[in-house]
């Protein structure tokens, strides 16, 4: 069986040790399998993506000793493909326009409570037309109920996990897309949502194995649903553990984890970094 995997960073910050671990894990798996390694720049969020972060990603990965297929796919250059997929879903009655603002969705929620999975319904045609005429912003949401009907339930939705989920899930895993509610597939500021772009690109790039951190395990459940609705193949998943720092906490952009650029400037070598990660 052919093997293709990818590293798909979002250029919204500098890479840190956690990214290096993920990229190296995927790269090594491709080498061991004699397969392909793809780098994909997930820059659909134009409000947060910056060219200097993308340049730093390429520099960091080269420094780490990785090599990838060219040309590199940049999601921002393929928005029309993603919109075409939303249009297909719309024609099948699987998505609807949701005009609720973040504020409206958050009513009654205390700041410490997680956002509840939203379940809504399309507005009556006349109200929708009025709001559109007023130029109100909306998001395309996937109707969970319509999806469930279209697929006659979700009992056939499973994926193969060769790593492990947060609760040790491994092997054949039953997908539970219902916990996410009516997910947003596109909105005004971010033309397409992460899940949709990922499933389309994984299929288009022939990815057979998705190797990424276990923090994205829940995403696999939603992505499995989208694959079924869009008749796309389901790759094998290999979610890996997250690297933790000396304080026992995972490395994260928002915690200002030391970046690979900083490590390099401090004289750390890629060999030392790999050894530290047990790779
Ligand atoms: N772009 C995502 C991130 O940087 C990763 C997507 C994926 O691996 O599926 O978190």
pLDDT tens sequence across 73-129: 999 999 999 999 999 999 999 999 999 988 888 777 777 776 778 999 999 999 999
For 11, the token pair is 């250029």
Residue 37 sits in which domain range?
1-77+243-279
On whether both 118 and 162 belong to a single domain, the answer is yes
On whether both 87 and 189 belong to a single domain, the answer is yes
State the pLDDT at residue 117: 86
On whether both 102 and 159 belong to a single domain, the answer is yes
On whether both 53 and 34 belong to a single domain, the answer is yes
Atom of ligand 1 nearest to the CA of 12: 4
> Do residues 13 and 53 lie in contact, with contact meaning Cβ atoms separated by under 8 Å?
yes
Q: Which residue has its alpha carbon closest to ligand 1 atom 6?
A: 8
> Which residues on adjacent β-strands are paired with residue 152?
none
Residue 216 lies in a domain: no
> Which residues on adjacent β-strands are paired with residue 98?
139
Residue 160 lies in a domain: yes
Distance 170 CA to ligand 1 centre (A): 20
Catalytic residue among 125, 188, 253, 256: 253
Active site residue 149: no
Whether the CB of 270 sits within 6 Å of ligand 1: no
Distance 252 CA to ligand 1 centre (A): 13
Whether the CB of 198 sits within 6 Å of ligand 1: yes
Contacts of 63 (CB under 8 A, 6+ apart): 260, 264, 270
C-alpha dihedral (131, 136, 140, 145), degrees to nearest 10: -40
For 238, the token pair is 């290999």
Atom of ligand 1 nearest to the CA of 198: 9
Whether the CB of 54 sits within 6 Å of ligand 1: no
Residue 233 lies in a domain: no
Point out the least confidently predicted range of 34-38, 188-192, 240-244.
188-192
Report pLDDT digits (tens) over 213-249. 999 999 999 999 999 999 999 999 999 999 988 888 8
Distance 5 CA to ligand 1 centre (A): 13
Contacts of 236 (CB under 8 A, 6+ apart): 159, 160, 161, 162, 208, 209, 210
State the pLDDT at residue 257: 73
On whether both 102 and 152 belong to a single domain, the answer is yes
Q: How many residues comprise the chain?
A: 279
On whether both 191 and 169 belong to a single domain, the answer is yes
Atom of ligand 1 nearest to the CA of 42: 1
Q: Which residue has its alpha carbon closest to ligand 1 atom 2?
A: 9
pLDDT band at 61 (very low <50, low <70, confident <90, very high): very high
State the pLDDT at residue 77: 95
Residue 1 lies in a domain: yes
On whether both 62 and 83 belong to a single domain, the answer is no
């Amino acid at each position: 069986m052919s093997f293709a995997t990818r590293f798909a960073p979002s250029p919204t910050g500098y890479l840190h040790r956690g990214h290096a671990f993920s990229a190296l894990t995927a790269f090594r798996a491709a080498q061991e399998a004699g397969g392909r390694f793809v780098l994909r720049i997930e820059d659909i969020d134009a409000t947060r993506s910056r060219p200097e972060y993308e340049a730093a990603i390429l520099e960091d990965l080269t420094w780490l000793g990785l090599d990838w297929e060219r040309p590199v796919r940049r999601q921002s250059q393929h928005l029309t493909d993603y919109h075409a997929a939303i249009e297909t879903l719309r024609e099948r009655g699987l998505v609807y326009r949701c005009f609720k603002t973040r504020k409206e969705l958050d009513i009654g929620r205390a700041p410490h409570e997680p956002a509840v999975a939203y379940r809504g319904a399309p507005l009556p045609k006349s109200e929708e037309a009025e709001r559109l005429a007023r130029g109100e912003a909306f998001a395309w949401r996937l109707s969970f109920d319509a999806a469930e009907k279209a697929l006659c339930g979700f009992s056939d939705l499973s994926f193969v996990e060769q790593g492990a989920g947060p609760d040790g899930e491994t092997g054949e895993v039953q997908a539970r897309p219902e916990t996410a509610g009516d997910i947003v597939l596109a909105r005004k500021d971010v033309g397409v949502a992460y899940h949709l772009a990922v499933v389309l690109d994984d299929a288009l790039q022939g990815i057979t194995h998705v190797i990424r951190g276990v923090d994205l395990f829940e995403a696999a459940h939603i992505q499995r649903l989208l694959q079924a609705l869009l008749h796309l193949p389901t790759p094998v998943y290999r979610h890996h553990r997250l690297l933790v720092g000396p304080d026992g906490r995972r490395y994260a952009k928002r915690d200002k984890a030391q970046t690979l650029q900083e490590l390099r400037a401090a004289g750390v070598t890629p060999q030392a970094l790999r050894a530290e990660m047990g790779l």
